[in-house]
Amino acid sequence: MRKAQLLANHSALIATYAINDAMNQLILAHLDPRAWRAAPHGKKGSGRSIAAIFVHLHNNRLSWLRNSAPHLKCPAPLDPDRATMKQAAAAHKKSAAQCLRMLQDALSGDEDRKVKKFSRGSWSQVWPATPTMFAYMFSHEAHHRGQILMLAHQLGYRLPVKAWAGVWWWEKLWKQAGIERPSV
3-177 CATH choice from 1.10.630.10, 1.10.260.40, 1.20.120.450, 3.40.50.2000:
1.20.120.450
Predicted confidence band of residue 3 (pLDDT cuts 50, 70, 90)? low
* Distance (Å, whole) CA 110 – CA 118: 16
Q: Which of 102, 95, 106, 97 is nearest to 10 (CA)?
A: 106
* Distance (Å, whole) CA 106 – CA 101: 9
Res 7 pLDDT > 80? no
Mean pLDDT of 2-24: 79
Q: Residue ranges of the domains in the chain? A: 3-177
- Return the exposure string of 14-43: e unless at least 16 CB atoms fall within 10 Å of the residue's CB, then b: bbbbbbbbbbbbbbbeebeeebbebebeee
Write the pLDDT tens digit of every residue in 28-46.
999 999 999 999 887 787 7
Write the pLDDT tens digit of every residue in 156-172.
999 888 887 888 888 88
Q: Are 57 and 85 in contact (CB under 8 A)?
A: no
Q: What angle do CA 119, 121, 124 make, to 5 degrees?
A: 80
- Provide the pLDDT for residue 173: 86
| DSSP count for the chain of H helices, then E strands | 7, 2
Write the pLDDT tens digit of every residue in 104-153.
999 998 889 999 999 988 888 899 999 999 999 999 999 999 999 999 99
Res 67 pLDDT > 90? yes
